[in-house]
Amino acid sequence: MAAEDVLLFVNAAITATGQREFHSDEHEQQLSLDFLHTYVRINYRPLYAASLALDINDHNAALIVRRLLETAGEATAEERRAEGRLIAARLARLPAPRVYRLFRALRTSRVNNRRTRAIMRDWLAGRPDPALDAVKYRAGLKCAARHAHLSWDGPGQAGDELGDFLFAPGRRTHFDTPLLDAWRRAHYEQRALYELPFTVAEGFAAAHGIGRRTFLERIAPRMTRLERLRLQESAGARRATVAVDLAGMPLTRLASYVLGCSLDERVARRAELTGALRAAARRTAGAQAGTWGRVAAVLDDSFSASGSRQKRHRPLATALACHFLLEALAGWYLPLWTSGRQDALLARPFGPTPLGMRLVDALEGAPDRLVIVSDGWDNAPPGLAGEVLRVWRTRLDPEHRTSVVHLNPVYDAGDFTVRRLSAAVPTAGVRDAEDLPALVQLARFAEGRTGLAELRAHLDDRVRQFLGDDQERTGGTG
C-alpha cells in the first residue's frame, strides 16, 4: 500500500500542473494535487523529498521545495541535511522565473529560517549573470535579496553597483556594467532598448511607441529559442520575420511547435519538420537507439488529446514526440493512431477513442514491447481496451513475453492519479517524451509484484545519480 501511495504521487507530480484539463477544471486539479502533496509529505517525508530526483515537472518540484521548507520543524536533523542537498540540486535545474516566484511565495508565507536564507543565498550566488537577472527579473531579485538578508558592499565593486541598480537606480548617472547602463539609457534612448533582453525591451518599445513589426525584426537577435517560438504567431500576423532554429530543440517542445503549425505549413515543410523530429529523437535515444527490438505503439489522437486552453494540444504533442522516440528506440516499429491516421506529421485531435480495436491490431504480431500513450478514456466501445489487456495478460501471454506499459499524459483529479486502462498492465504518468525510457522502468513498480523496499532502493539510486550529476555539473564536492 505504501508503494502504491508513493507511485500515486509520482504519477501526479509528473503530469499535474494545477491547470484545467479536458475532463476537469482548474479548481479540481489544484484541490486534488494539494491533498496529495500534504498526504505524502506527512506520511512519507523522505520519499516525498526523494521525488525531487525524479522526472517530475517544474510546478510540482517547486511545490515540494516550498512544502519542505515550510515544515522544516517536522524533519529530523538528518532529513534536513538530505533535503537541503536535494533542494539545492533541484533549484539549479529549475527555470529562473519559477525560482523567483517560489522565493516570493516563501516570503509571503514568512518562511525565513536560517536554512531557507542559506538556500536562497547559495542559489543567487550561483547565478551565471547577476546583471541579467537584475534587469530581467528585477522585482524577483529584489524580493529574494531582502528576504535572504543579502547585501552588496564595497564602493566601486560590481556588487555595490548591482545594489544601487536594484534599490536606488537614480543614485547613479552611469553604470559600468553594460547591461545595467543599457537599461538606464533605454528610458530615453530607443537604440539602447535593443541591447536588452526581449521581455524587458518589449515594455520600453511600447513606452516609446515603436511599431510591433519594427520592434520584432530588430530585437530578433536578442531572442531566445523559446521566445522565438512564442512569437511565431504574432510575428506572422504582422508580416515580421522571426526565424526559428529547430536544431537542438527538445523533442516534446519541438512536437508542440509542429502541432502549432497549420496542416498546409506542415505539408510544405515536411522534410524540414520530419528531419528535425527524427534528429531530436535520435539525440534523446542516445545509446539505446535500435535496442528495443520489435515495438508496437498505440497512440491517442482522439478529440480529448486537444487538452485545454491552458494546455493546448499537450497530450497530442506528448504522443507525437513518443512516436518519434519509439521509432528511434525500436529495431522494428508499428505505430497505430486511434484515428487510423497513417501520417504522424499531420496529427490532429479528432473523433472518439477506440483503444480496444487498436490494441487488438498491435498485439496481433506479438511484439516485444507494446507502449500505449493515451489519457485512458477508452470509449469506442467503453471498456474494450481493459478487457483486451486482461485477456491478453491472463490467457494469451501469462509469461509476459510482450512487455506492455501505458503512459498517460493527463492527471485525473477525481482519482488522484492518472487514469488506468487495466489492472493487468502498469500505468505511469508522462509529460515529456524524453522521460519515456525512465518511466517504462518506473512503471514496473505499478504491477504490484514489487514492494516499498524495491521502490525505495530505486529512489535511492536515482537520488545518488541526481546529486552526482549536480556535483559534476557545478564542480562541487557535495
Domain's final residue, options 225, 244, 263: 244
On whether both 30 and 155 belong to a single domain, the answer is yes
Domain containing 219 equals: 186-244
Report how many domains make up the chain.
3
On whether both 287 and 382 belong to a single domain, the answer is yes
On whether both 330 and 276 belong to a single domain, the answer is yes
Domain contains 20: yes
Instruction: Using alpha carbons, select from 369, 387, 270, 275 the residue that is nearest to residue 326.
Output: 369
Question: Residues 396-426: pLDDT tens digits?
Answer: 988 989 999 999 999 888 878 888 898 888 8
Domain contains 465: no
Amino acid at 73: G
472: exposed, middle or buried (C-beta count within 10 Å: 0-12, 13-18, 19+)? exposed
* 447-460: average pLDDT: 69
| Side-chain half-sphere CA neighbours of 346 within 13 A | 9
On whether both 283 and 164 belong to a single domain, the answer is no
On whether both 22 and 107 belong to a single domain, the answer is yes
Q: CA-to-CA distance for 206 and 249, rounded, in angstroms?
A: 30
Q: CA-to-CA distance for 302 and 312, rounded, in angstroms?
A: 14
Q: CA-to-CA distance for 130 and 78, rounded, in angstroms?
A: 33
Domain's final residue, options 228, 244, 260: 244
On whether both 129 and 225 belong to a single domain, the answer is no
Cα 248 off chain centre by: 17
Question: Residues 206-254: pLDDT tens digits?
Answer: 999 998 888 888 888 888 877 877 776 554 444 555 566 787 789 999 9
Domain contains 461: no
On whether both 218 and 275 belong to a single domain, the answer is no
The answer, yes or no, to whether the previous bond of 381 is cis (omega within 30 of 0) is yes
User: Are 67 and 61 contacting, i.e. CB atoms less than 8 angstroms apart?
Assistant: no
Most distant CA atoms of the chain, gap in Å: 81
129-133: long-range contacts, CB 8 A cutoff, minimum separation 24: 130/158, 130/162, 131/162, 131/177, 131/179, 131/180, 132/179, 132/197, 133/96
386: exposed, middle or buried (C-beta count within 10 Å: 0-12, 13-18, 19+)? buried
338-344: long-range contacts, CB 8 A cutoff, minimum separation 24: 338/298, 338/299, 338/300, 338/301, 338/302, 338/374, 339/301, 339/302, 341/301, 344/320
Domain contains 457: no
On whether both 167 and 199 belong to a single domain, the answer is no
Domain contains 195: yes
* 21-43: average pLDDT: 88
Q: What nine digits make up the cell of 39?
A: 498526504
Domain contains 478: no
Residues contacting 130, CB < 8 A, separation 6+? 124, 158, 162
On whether both 103 and 205 belong to a single domain, the answer is no
On whether both 8 and 152 belong to a single domain, the answer is yes
Question: What does the mean pLDDT of the chain come to?
Answer: 87
Residue 159 pLDDT > 60, yes or no? no
User: Are 433 and 325 contacting, i.e. CB atoms less than 8 angstroms apart?
Assistant: yes
Q: CA-to-CA distance for 475 and 467, rounded, in angstroms?
A: 12
Q: Which of 23-37, 208-222, 318-332, 434-448 has the highest mean pLDDT?
A: 318-332
Please report, for the domain that includes residue 261, its CATH number: 3.40.50
Residues contacting 185, CB < 8 A, separation 6+? 192
Q: Which of 148-152, 221-225, 291-295 has the lowest mean pLDDT?
A: 148-152
Domain contains 462: no
Domain's final residue, options 227, 244, 261: 244
User: Are 384 and 355 contacting, i.e. CB atoms less than 8 angstroms apart?
Assistant: yes
Percent over 90 (pLDDT), the chain: 53
On whether both 46 and 170 belong to a single domain, the answer is yes
On whether both 256 and 231 belong to a single domain, the answer is no
Q: What is the pLDDT of residue 154?
A: 39
Domain contains 443: yes
pLDDT, greater one: 417 or 89: 89
